[in-house]
Amino acid sequence: MTHQTSPRNPAHAPGTNAASDAGPAPAAATPRDFSFAIGSRLTGPDGQPRPGRTGTITTPHGTIQTPAFIPVATQAAVKAVLPEAMAELGAQALLANAYHLYLQPGADLLDEAGGLGQFMNWHGPTFTDSGGFQVMSLGSGFKKVIDMAGPKAPSGQGADDAVAPGKERLANVDEDGVWFKSHLNGDQHRFTPEVSVGIQHQLGADIMFAFDELTTLHNSRGYQEEALERTRRWAQRCLDEHARLTGERAAKPYQALFGVIQGAQYEDLRRQACGDLAAMRTMFSSLEHGFDGYGIGGALEKANLGTIVGWCAEELPEDKPRHLLGISEPDDLFTAVENGADTFDCVSPTRVARTGAFYTADGRFNLPGAKYKRDFSPLEEGCDCYTCAHYTRAYIHHLIKAKEMVAHTLISVHNERFTVRLVDRIRVSIQDGTFWDLRDEVLGRYYAPKA
């Protein structure tokens, strides 16, 4: 039986007034505890400056050298991989999902445990998303943001109401927020900008995202405009609530809040969103401050990725980091960096690993194939990951056929290392001036026709 559940009130959560008798109280949290410093800048083959750059994001739990790939730990865990293994393979930060952690085990529990990092034994910086993607996913049934064109609407139904085939609408948006049904048990919950920010404050991530409405490519221009204006109003409410909670939880480490840029594939809407969010301010005690960085979100066609990121880079403050939500393919990474994105997250490295797919410099391959049964080479020759140092394709092929779960772990470790290492190489190539050569070498080999 479905019943309505009220959102947890962050103001009355355990751990929000953590007074201590041991020594003087720590300095109050302030936006000055988070920063971004630009390092090297990318120049084009013609010698002209490009938006790409390297930089350093400084958080209370450590620094992130950018560009950087941020692996996804949806439910406070990277699927099938220990946090210690993620640190060993070079991950600088992890991103968790506020919606999922709100439902289970509850944001109040993570707050009581000392925050996301402490709870999962991860000692570096952490990100949490706002739940905006789940609004779209639960509402329309679409699971991707790139090429998320969607199906045609049924007869008599507008495109703005379209739902993916075989899916039920589990979320409904109104001016104040979103009602959604839990995918776990059907309970009804309410997310508003204030609830989302409150949950993320309890989760304790170093970088949070403002609550937004993610549209699909199938939505009409009129609805895109309506949703963008709603996201703008929600963004200001998120910023105001963030300032209030920062003051209320002053003994906690400062948590940065990123605004999220929507606008689908419309240049005027993307530029308008950037300008609106860049101009937003609120008061943190006596300090007037805006967003600490920006997430570039929303549905887009793969071919327009670089163009859209470029529009945003031209409009957003240069001294704030830009996070591109949901990419990890090699061509997308090069395109995003070239056009000014600093960090990225994606579930693909572990998601495809669970189907037996693994990445190499020569492309992506499927390990369940019979040709790997007696292949005693590593997943990738020359790879420095734990899996390639200790196991063969034949062994992992056997694990897949035997349905042993450790197969997912071994391939996931390799795929995450492949992606993290590639972005590390991109960062170094900007510093030493070899970006274009590296791009041509990597993409030419990865996407070369297979025999």
Residues comprising the binding site?
129-133, 212, 262, 298, 383, 385, 388, 414
Distances, alpha carbon 105 to alpha carbons 8, 28, 74, 210, in Å? 12, 28, 12, 22
CA proximity to 158, closest of 235, 216, 110: 216
Question: Please, what's the largest Cα pairwise distance for the chain?
Answer: 68
Instruction: Provide the terminal-to-terminal Cα distance of the chain, rounded to the nearest Å.
Output: 55
Give CA–CA dist 238/227, Å, rounded.
Answer: 16
Backbone angles phi, psi at 36, to 5 degrees: -140, 125
**Long-range Cβ contact pairs of 394-398 (< 8 A, separation 24 or more):** 396/367, 397/367, 397/368, 397/372, 397/373, 398/373
User: Which residue among 111, 129, 276, 342 is the active-site one?
Assistant: 129
Q: Binding site for Zn(2+): which residues?
A: 383, 385, 388, 414
Q: Binding site for substrate: which residues?
A: 129-133, 212, 262, 298
Residues 6+ apart with CB under 8 A from 318: 38
Is 111 catalytic? The answer is no
Residues 6+ apart with CB under 8 A from 161: 153
User: Which residue among 206, 276, 292, 345 is the active-site one?
Assistant: 345
Backbone angles phi, psi at 180, to 5 degrees: -145, 155
- What does the block give as tokens for 316? 């957003």
Is 345 catalytic? The answer is yes
| Angle subtended at Cα 79 by Cα 108 and Cα 258, rounded to the nearest 5 degrees | 55
Positions marked catalytic: 129, 345
